[in-house]
Chains A and B, each alone.
Chain A
Amino acid sequence: MEYNFEELLVVKENDGESTIFHFSGVINEEFLQQQIEIPISPNIVLDLDKVKLINSCGIREWIRFIQRMDQQEKIIYRQIPKVFINQMNIVKGFVTKNSLVESFYAPYFDEDNDLEMDKLIFTDQVVDSQAPVFMNEQGNELEFDAFESTYFKFLKEIGS
């Protein structure tokens, strides 16, 4: 099932145990989250890989959306983009206690090739708030392009 908003598409599918919501586009004031039916299934998976942007009005709508899932056993986040991570770290209520993060993107910088990139990280790769190490083509370490102390803060707030 699809939900079409101005700049956002939400596709809902069911894989038996979980209901998966795939988000792609921009989450803003046009995200009429109340139109999305929250199923009764125990687990909800939020696939955020194709989310480009979330603005302050989008944050407001997102929090209202998440608050409607407080009865779910687990809300599982997948492929969280960097723009989302920033909000998860700063905005109280952006993620709930029943949230679980599977994977997310982290920013890295390749100094040798002057390239910025986002790498997909699985939660268990982060140990003691240390970013996992990646190498470039030349065999040199990529620089983690954020503050580790703040970027992985959300992992302390929620399950992983």
Chain B
Amino acid sequence: MKLKNKLLLSILILILLSLGSLSYFFYKTLISDKITYLLEVNQNTSKQLVSDLNGQIQQSMDMAKVILNSEQNPYVNQHKTQFYLSLPKNYSFKYYEIQDKNLNLISSHPIQNNSLRNLNYQQINNLFLKEHDVKEEENRIASSFTFKKDKTIVNVYFYDQGGRYILHLSKLSPSVIKSEQSFSGLSINLYNQNSQSITPLLGQNLKITAKDINKLKHFSTQKEKIKGKSYYLTSTPYPNGRLIILTFFKESIIFDAFSSILIKVLGIIILIAAFGVFSSTILAKSFLAPIYEIIDHTDKIARGQLDLRINLKRNDELKILENSVNSMSEKLILYLESVKEKASIDKEIEITGQIQQKFFHQNQKLTFPSLEAYGSYFPASKCGGDWWAARRIDEHKSLIMIGDATGHGLPAAFVTATIHCFFILYKELETLKKEKYSNPASIMAFLNQVIHTLGGDILLTFFIGIFDERDKSLKYCNASHNFPIVYNQETEKTKQLKFLDDSFNPRLGESKQSKYSSTDVTLSPGDSILFYTDGITEGRNANDQEFGERRLGKILIENKLNDVQTVATNVYDSALVFYNGIIPDDDITLLSVQVKS
């Protein structure tokens, strides 16, 4: 998927998730809050109704007491007519005397248009001997309600203690229920309940049975399903136990309102998401355009147009990227130049190595009347700083030389080339000045002068030996080179190995004033000498162990019966086994010489 689309998708998901979560949270909170409010309203309405009804009855009872007093008090009775005229118009009463189970009407109010029906004795019995719809008071007071849509009639019956009189007071009040639909769908129904059935008194918009009522916990709001619909109901029995006040609202009415809110919220979410997509498209374009430019530029760099530079005309983090890309181009140019230079140098080193091989064979066997020699040379790089040579000087003498220039590579190869030039010219020099150049020390001194002219940074360890086959003597001069090892077929232990270590002179090139001296040793037929450079003894394996001189000595003893070529080969092979894959980082030269029997 393209970066632009990923960016857009990410922003869209983020917006939708955020708004969705927020909306869900608000929705849940709103519902919970609204339901709590409506539940409270539900309960409070029930309580208020009970309180209202109680208030009505109490007012009526108070008025009844006053009327009773006026009927029974002779003094007040004289003026009762005027008193009754002052009564509020919503009150009416009838006052009876009870005689032999008959009720005789004594007085009534209003005198005319009194809508109260006359009571009969049976009705009184029913009022006071059986349960009615209100609770019977101690002083024989009963009360009842009649509910109509627009009015409520409170009836109070006072049965005096003597049993002689009864007052029926009726108060006409406005309806306790202001409207059936209030508080956003809250309904109020009133029922008269007996043990088996309920009779609706007011409000008929909930078809409920006695069984349903009995399931309810009175005085608390609960959610109930009645005839397939959910309602939040509060059931409050009026203190007389037979009047049930039921306040409720349909669940669906609440959620109608919430659904409306939800739709509006969804609409807002969609709008915001659309705006988000639009904004992020603009933003993505602003981000991605320079990135595409950089991609195009790097593509050109890959095709070799390194001299191109990019200019994004930005001042933000992309400017840093621009600078990095331009810097990378510049460094690539420099790098390629250095690679070319290195390739050129490598080529020169390779050529040097090829030239070196022409005058310095990797493997060469030389046979003189009394000596056999086999030399092997293994440079650490394409050209090296080791060197060896051997030649016959005259009918009796042979010259052996081995050297190791400081370091390796081109500079060291240059030094060996210098030595080689001397070697080539040696015969002429020796002929011209025999005394000087037939002595190893003199040769060494001359070579020192030659090497010193090279500046003094490249030095050479060197060994020169002149073997005289007449007396098998070897006159040698050692300029700080590794001591050659002498052994023969009788050598059994390393302690029996001998070293040509009696000549100790400075390295070639160190100082123009260096002095050199040589010494003699007499060899015997069958004696073998190994001349070598320190590349072999100082080579290390992966455990950082040095091959060492003693290991070298042991291998020579093991090969004491072998010819010079086998000795050199076996020594080198043994070293390679010891190095175990680690490539030596110095040149190795081995010159195995044997005095013929």
Contacts and interface: CB of A to CB of B under 8 A. Distances in A.
A89 B419 CA distance: 25
Contacts of A147: 494-495, 497, 499, 549-550, 553
B520 interface: no
Contact of B407 (A56, A63, A91): A56
A90 B550 CA distance: 16
B406 A90 contact: no
Interface in B478-500: 479-483, 494-495, 497, 499
Interface in A64-93: 82-83, 86, 90-93
Contacts of B46: none
B461 interface: yes
A106 B180 CA distance: 115
B506 A93 contact: yes
Contacts of A63: 510
A107 B548 contact: yes
A141 interface: no
B545 interface: yes
A91 B548 CA distance: 17
Given A92-B505, A146-B548, A60 B481 contact: no
Q: Which of A29, A57, A86, A90 has most B Cβ within 10 Å?
A: A90
A148 B496 CA distance: 11
A55 B549 CA distance: 17
B109 interface: no
Contacts of A116: 545
Of the four ranges (under 10, 10 to 19, 20 to 34, 35 or more), the interface on chain A belongs to 20 to 34
B459 interface: yes
A102 interface: no
A50 interface: no
B506 A145 contact: no
B469 interface: no
A59 B479 CA distance: 14
Interface in A83-133: 83, 86, 90-93, 107, 116
A146 B547 CA distance: 11
A92 B506 contact: yes
Contacts of B495: 147-148
A91 B406 CA distance: 12
Given A56-B406, A90-B482, A116-B545, A149 B499 contact: yes
B387 to A, nearest CB: 14
A91 B501 contact: no
Interface string B446-465: 00000000000101010000
A91 B550 contact: no
A56 B404 contact: yes
A57 B406 contact: yes
Contact of A57 (B407, B501, B505, B506): B407
A86 B545 CA distance: 15
A136 interface: no
B507 interface: yes
Given A29-B407, A60-B457, A63-B510, A90 B499 contact: no
Nearest to B501: A150
A146 B506 contact: no
B483 A92 contact: no
A149 B407 CA distance: 28
A150 B457 contact: no
Contacts of B481: 90
A145 B550 contact: yes
Given A147-B494, A153-B501, A92 B550 contact: no
Given A56-B407, A60-B457, A90 B480 contact: yes
B406 A60 contact: yes
B504 interface: yes
Contacts of B404: 56
Contact of A60 (B459, B545, B553): B459
Contacts of A150: 483, 499, 501, 549
Contacts of B549: 146-147, 150
Contacts of A92: 479-480, 504-507
A57 B585 CA distance: 14
B548 A145 contact: yes
Nearest to B553: A147
A57 B548 CA distance: 20
A141 to B, nearest CB: 14
Nearest to A58: B406
A58 B589 CA distance: 21
7 contacts: A56-B586, A57-B407, A82-B546, A92-B479, A92-B506, A145-B550, A146-B550
**Nearest 6 pairs between A and B by C-beta?**
A91-B480, A56-B406, A92-B506, A92-B480, A145-B550, A92-B504
